Amino acid sequence: MDHCHETGRVRGVPCFNRHSAIGTLGDHPDTVRRAAAYVEGNSWKPTLVAPDVCRLPF
């Protein structure tokens, strides 16, 4: 059973692999987003914000 460690609220009953992944990544949505971006191949693509100025994601 998965739950929020701050509130104790039950979020659901994921499969073992998903529950392990959530436990490894922690209760941090930004960490999960960065992991998803990495898997999707988007983690190192810079964004052009001005001429000759790039911003790396996250």
Is the pTM higher than 0.85? The answer reads: no
Using a 10 angstrom Cβ sphere, with 0-12 exposed, 13-18 middle and 19 or more buried, the burial of residue 36 is exposed
Domain ranges across the chain: 2-55
pLDDT digits (tens, 9 = 90+) for 19-58: 898 889 888 888 888 888 888 876 677 788 899 888 876 6
Question: Taking each helix axis from N to C terminus, what angle separates 16-25 and 29-40, rounded to the nearest 10 degrees?
Answer: 110
Q: What is the DSSP letter of 6?
A: T
**Alpha carbons 2 and 6: distance in angstroms, whole number:** 12
